[in-house]
Amino acid sequence: MTSFLSDSSILCIIIIIMSSAFDFWTVKNVSGRLLVGLKWWSKREPDGSEKWCHECRVDESKNNLVDTSFFWIG
């Protein structure tokens, strides 16, 4: 019985971590790009360091006010 409980809780933790990672990826990449025109990525510099780059839509007047509010408030 104890083995079942520990296996079940481990599975639950793995599912929660994977769901959180997927939620973060979705919000950062998909929602940000579609709703407000944001793009994020990382690239390696020649010295081996990592640099985070981002872009945003140049003409923000094309953003829908409802979508923009939903993204930034949510």
Rounded CA separation 60/56 (Å): 9
Q: What is the pLDDT of residue 55?
A: 81
How does residue 17 score in pLDDT terms, banded at 50, 70 and 90?
A: very high
End-to-end C-alpha distance for the chain, whole angstroms: 42
Rounded CA separation 28/41 (Å): 10
Q: What is the pLDDT of residue 1?
A: 45
Q: What is the pLDDT of residue 36?
A: 79
Residue 40 Cα distances to 27, 28, 37, 66, angstroms: 11, 8, 10, 22
Rounded CA separation 44/50 (Å): 5
For the residues 10-22, what does the mean pLDDT come to?
91
Domain coordinates in residue numbering, the chain: 32-74
Q: What is the pLDDT of residues 24-67, one digit of tens each?
A: 888 777 878 877 778 878 889 999 899 988 887 777 777 777 87
